[in-house]
Chain A
Amino acid sequence: MAAVATRPRRSNTRIAGGLILSALALLAVCAASILLGSRTINLAALAQTDLTVILDMRVPRTVLGLLAGAALAVSGTLLQGVARNPLADPGIMGINAGAAVAVVTGILVLGRQATGASVWLAFLGAGAAIAAVYTTASFGREGATPVKLALAGVVVTAVCSSVTSAIVLADADALEELRVWQVGALAGRYWPVVLQVGPYVLVGLVAAMFLARPLNLLALGDALAISLGQHVRRNRTITFVVVAVLCGAATAACGPIAFLGLMVPHLVRLVTGPDYRWILAYSFVLGPLVLLLCDIVGRLVSAPGELQVGVVLGVVGAPVFITIVRLRRGVEL
């Protein structure tokens, strides 16, 4: 048929090329993440202490950056797609607030020895929060419409942060734990944490790959998606479960890292256009890339101390995000 020749295959090659370049850049950033820091490693003269630093600190930190970056960026993409809302983000959807409330409640009930359990508590809290958001938004005739999801997210965030505030103002230990925890960081999490959350992130990422096609159809609106044979409700629910696993795991390991999930999908769409297969593929790569870059910046700017990656991401990411918003004519999905 004549039309085959006119289909834009060319742009697909370009998008794929960009993906490969990004992957190469990610490799370079991983190497930098292992070598740079308050103690710069010289590969030519590798001392025993260097090896310890690399294996016990830098490598787990980098692996965690890969996992958390991919998890947050992918879950942001999934949320924006399923909520058809460019504002949807793990932070706005109540996940960070849910995790925080679980962490401080743990300290309040169990005392300081709960610190070791905060990974699991955060995981639990994040899951509960997103479940609450989804159920609240699902009531009523139309089910979980985009507007209701966004509002429900704000509601759950408000309740959780109120409880968190009430607890930390009453309990000094909880305040101490929260103020350290609430600035997300990759530092100080060693192999045990990576191994605790890694499997969940991997499972979540694999599941996310299967959601690209349903999201492409959901973008056409519920009526057409149903007409094209989608189980709209079921796929929404699955997407939310995947998001809960990914975000819960990342937040449990690093603390709340705002913004990555909001920013990366917007960045990616500039390159890929609206096809979620590409958007997700790029998010896999760009999420870790951005997160690790910010982490490296945080190590270098205030050496010998460190600036947590959550702070760097806010300060560096916000201008980037605002620029993207200004560049685009419409930010609707």
Chain B
Amino acid sequence: MSEHSLEVAGLTLGYDGADIVSGLSTDIPAGAITAIIGANASGKSTLLRGLSRLLAPRAGQVLLDGVPVHGMRSGDLARLLGLLPQSPVAPSSITVGDLVGRGRYPHQGWFRSWTPADDAAVDEALEATGTADLVSRRVADLSGGQRQRVWIAMALAQDTDILLLDEPTTFLDVNYQIEVLDLLVDLNRDRGKTIVMVLHELSLACRYADHLIAMKDGRIVTEGAPGEVVTAATVEEVFSLRCDVIADPRSGTPLVIPLGRHRLRSARE
């Protein structure tokens, strides 16, 4: 189990103009999967960038084990907390093995370049993501789902207890989406990693996350276990979408049924 706590205290983030996230506070539960949901421009990706110190806070702090991440040494932090951005760029003609190997950077010194431990970590990451037989293929030649698994393998090779992912399933076919999310659950269960991800697909977030953070206009509307926080009222507030929420017949987690204007058998009473 991950023993590292990640805590957000009064965090305000923004780019040039207005604040995008303002005065936000929350605790990220250790050893669990947290999904940040919200409409476009609700500040969810910005929050993730703040958590991973890509964006310096205007006010407030992100505390890792009680220490502000923006004061920590980059190398130390990179051994505890990894980030997979939304659309990472691979150098052209790099192979899968080399790309995953680059995730070992925080564990290498200036002079001690490549150790058996690095080999082991890369192999394990490849194995865990089911990409071991792709190792000498070029990343550019892979399918979308394979490529995403390779990127996750790279983040795994970094071997951090906390893993942040920005929309890891975007642009993937639905079978690959499930594959990637199942993989994240494996990592959480088997290795006790704390996972924080921004997710677009609401019902998938309900099924796969232990903890949901629903955001709107840079603030948290509600947070908690999916079964508790996902109701028709919150969905309407967060996404401006009228919907029914039923229990997923296979998982028991909330399933959001959107109510459009057409093709409904009977109106809601």
Whole-angstrom distance from the CB of A237 to the nearest CB of chain B? 15
B:194-252 near A, CB below 8 Å: none
B residues in contact with A227, CB < 8 Å:
52, 54, 78, 81-85, 158
Closest to A7 in B: B97
Interface residues of B in 104-135 (CB under 8 A from A): 105-106, 108, 110, 113, 119-120, 122-124, 126-127, 132-133, 135
Determine the residue in chain A with the shortest Cβ distance to B94: A274
Contact of A217 with B54 at beta-carbon distance under 8 Å, contacts A6-B136, A224-B85 already known: no
Of the candidates A2, A213, A217, A226, the one whose C-beta lies within 8 Å of that of B132 is A2
Q: Which of A216, A226, A231 lies in contact with B102, CB distance below 8 A?
A: A216
CA distance A67 to B108 in the complex (A): 31
Asked if A220 lies at the interface with its beta carbon under 8 angstroms from chain B, I say: yes
Report B46-88 residues with CB < 8 Å from chain A CB.
Answer: 49, 52-54, 74-79, 81-85, 88
Query: Are A273 and B93 closer than 8 Å at their CB atoms?
Result: yes
Contacting residues, chain A, for B49 (C-beta < 8 A): 223
Q: Within 8 Å CB of A141, what residues of B? A: 15-16
A229 CB–B CB distance under 8 Å? yes
Q: Does A166 contact B (CB under 8 A)?
A: no
Query: Would you give the shortest CB distance from B51 to chain A, in whole angstroms?
Result: 11
State whether A223 and B85 are in contact (beta carbons under 8 Å apart), knowing that A3-B126, A229-B79, A332-B92 are contacts in the complex. yes
Chain B residues touching A, range: 35 or more
Nearest-neighbour CB distance to chain A for B33, whole angstroms, equals: 19
Residue of B nearest to A234 (CB): B74
Q: Is the CB of B89 closer than 8 A to any CB of chain A?
A: yes
Residue pair A228, B106 in contact (C-beta under 8 Å): yes
User: Which A residues lie within 8 Å of B74 (CB)?
Assistant: 226, 229-231
A231: B residues at CB distance < 8 A: 74
Among residues of B, the one whose C-beta sits closest to the C-beta of A140 is B16
Q: Say yes or no: B105 contacts A226, CB within 8 Å.
A: no
Q: Contacts A226-B54, A230-B74 given: A274-B98 contact, CB under 8 Å? A: yes
> 1/0 contact trace for A202-231 toward B, CB 8 Å?
000000001001001101110110111111
Q: In the complex, which of the residues A1, A2, A210 has the most CB atoms of chain B within 10 Å of its own CB atom? A: A1
Asked whether A116 is an interface residue with its Cβ less than 8 Å from the other chain, the reply is: no
Residues of A within 8 A of B88 (CB): 220-221, 223-224
Give every chain B residue within 8 A of A229 (Cβ-Cβ). Answer: 74-79, 105-106
B90 in the interface (beta carbon within 8 A): yes
**In the complex, which of the residues B82, B105, B123 contacts A4, with contact meaning CB atoms closer than 8 Å?**
B123
Please report the C-alpha to C-alpha distance between residue A220 and residue B92 in the assembled complex, in whole angstroms: 10
Partner of B89, one of A220, A275, A330: A220
Question: How far apart sit A84 and B49, CA to CA, in the bound complex (Å)?
Answer: 22
6 contacts between A and B (CB under 8 A): A1-B124, A227-B84, A228-B102, A229-B75, A274-B92, A330-B92
Give 13 new A-B contacts, CB below 8 A, not counting A2-B132, A227-B158, A274-B94.
A3-B127, A3-B135, A6-B136, A210-B110, A213-B113, A217-B102, A221-B85, A223-B88, A226-B53, A227-B82, A228-B105, A274-B92, A274-B93
